Amino acid sequence: MELLEADPRTGSRRRGVLILDDSGVPKKDEATQGVKRQYIGQLGKVANGQVFVTSHYAEQRCHWPVDLLPYVPDNWLEGGKADPAFRTKIKLTLELADRAVAWGLRFRAIVAEAWYGHNTGFIKGLEKRSLPYVVELEAAQGIFARLEGDIASNEHRLKEALSLVEPKDFRPVRLTAADGTERQVFVAALEVKIKKLTGKRRAYWALVECYRTEGGPHQGPHPISLGPTARRSQRQVRHRSRRHSNAGASLARISHMPVAPVYAGV
């Protein structure tokens, strides 16, 4: 990493992002530490294998692996989950974030997929560290929002909050891929309260490959990301993380989003 950081062509910059993810490696034997029947990303299913949590620096100019830690399931430890050596994937990813900061790696935000975005412990850990982030959300994410027809409970799924978003709320955004090609999407933002988190966060919906209709773009929107509302910015990081172990995956990408408070209180 020192060589990459020293080279002006590859050194980290504030416009980059730190991708936190995990990757599974299939293993037929059961003698290697950490091997267990668990979800293996390379296979897209539950199988025998090892899992590693990873950090990866990315921007339009370059991308490179930063660090990784092995996930050791509880069945490999004498005390199981109560063993002092046992660490969840969430704890490991937060440790990778701490290590990147300690090493002086420069990045604009931490980005992660929906499995991490759904985990409020991960979100709390980032906010406790005052680390900016953008994470993917699941449509079934539990939220609190006052929708039409609510009388008592205002607990809903994130996808149900779309009734609060109008066509005029979507703004055009140009996404630039690593190869220089561009495409236009439409993005809308809405502040909602996420279950098990205090305060509100700003959720974003994207219309991808949209068609314009009278009154605005039209296509079934889907939630893409979550950012805290403590600080407002005129740009949002949007990326697709490269799966380090999967050939042919899309490169990370960053675009300017004119709708965007994404930074925690830093």
Q: Are residues 100 and 151 in the same domain?
A: no
pLDDT at 207: 66
What Å distances lie between residue 105 and 65, 121, 133, 238, CA to CA?
12, 23, 15, 19
Among 69-83, 223-237, 246-260, which is the least confidently predicted range?
A: 246-260
pLDDT band at 224 (very low <50, low <70, confident <90, very high): low
pLDDT at 225: 56
pLDDT at 249: 25
Residue 261 has pLDDT above 50, yes or no: no
Q: Are residues 99 and 182 in the same domain?
A: no
Q: Which residue has the tokens 């989950």?
A: 81
pLDDT at 31: 82
Q: Are residues 74 and 190 in the same domain?
A: no
Task: Residue 30: give the domain boundaries.
Answer: 1-107
**Is residue 154 included in any domain, yes or no?**
yes
Q: Are residues 77 and 197 in the same domain?
A: no
Query: Which residue among 69, 90, 107 closes a domain?
Result: 107
Q: Are residues 159 and 261 in the same domain?
A: yes
Q: How many domains, in total, are found in the chain?
A: 2
Residue 149, phi then psi, degrees to nearest 5: 95, -10
Among 78-87, 172-181, 254-263, which is the least confidently predicted range?
A: 254-263
Q: Are residues 148 and 264 in the same domain?
A: yes
Q: Are residues 150 and 97 in the same domain?
A: no
Question: Residues with Cβ < 8 Å from 2, sequence gap 6 or more?
Answer: none
**Is residue 119 included in any domain, yes or no?**
no
**Is residue 169 included in any domain, yes or no?**
yes
pLDDT at 168: 85
**Is residue 124 included in any domain, yes or no?**
no
Q: Are residues 146 and 260 in the same domain?
A: yes
Q: Are residues 144 and 262 in the same domain?
A: yes
Residue 234 has pLDDT above 60, yes or no: no
Share of the chain above pLDDT 90, in %: 31
pLDDT band at 231 (very low <50, low <70, confident <90, very high): very low
Residue 164 has pLDDT above 50, yes or no: yes
In the Cβ-directed half-sphere of 92, how many Cα atoms lie within 13 Å? Answer: 21
